[in-house]
Copies of this chain bind each other. A is one copy, B any other.
């Protein structure tokens, strides 16, 4: 994915202004939601005149859509990098999953506001940016599904594994655990959180009862 796909010309100065606007918008929208956040607020927090917002983005929703694309680009890059690194080190697909969980946690710890905003908007229908969101969601899920699929192909995971559903469940597990960690027990370390999730994934909580799949 071209990280600067939305910045046609893009002088350094302009890019810096855009970045300031992204940062201002992401926290405000995470806290208040898209509709409740005003363009005046975004401009003020970015330390920029309102006119500048409209000089750099066609509208409030375009600003938001580019913000989404930008953030998800960072996340998928990070997940892919984690999977590749494990593969190069000769790890199993289970190790790759573990590394991706860690990468996910690191991303959320670094960009909690973006994550919040992403979750809040993901399942909304009837919104202007819904199609953008679909594309962007598919990119994240595809990375995880890829690892699952390879694991099934190599026999490491059972071939009755439900790839799309498992991918979604993994995303949910990491997402909600991490947001809860940030919101309600921020003093805990990333290692701590990672260990708890690994444990859960290894079935040392749910137990190893016989399958009763339908």
Contact = CB atoms under 8 A, between A and B. Distances in A.
Nearest to A138: B184
B172 A175 contact: yes
A209 to B, nearest CB: 6
A191 B214 contact: yes
Interface residues of A, number: 74
A185 B164 CA distance: 9
**What DSSP secondary structure best describes chain A's contact surface?**
helix
Given A162-B196, A176-B171, A198-B211, A30 B92 contact: no
B203 A211 contact: no
B94 A165 contact: no
A135 interface: no
Contacts of A19: none
A200 B172 CA distance: 13
A199 interface: yes
28 contacts: A30-B124, A32-B127, A33-B35, A34-B35, A92-B207, A116-B123, A119-B119, A120-B121, A123-B183, A157-B204, A157-B205, A162-B199, A164-B184, A165-B177, A165-B180, A165-B196, A168-B181, A169-B196, A170-B200, A172-B172, A195-B214, A198-B212, A198-B213, A199-B211, A199-B213, A202-B206, A203-B203, A204-B211
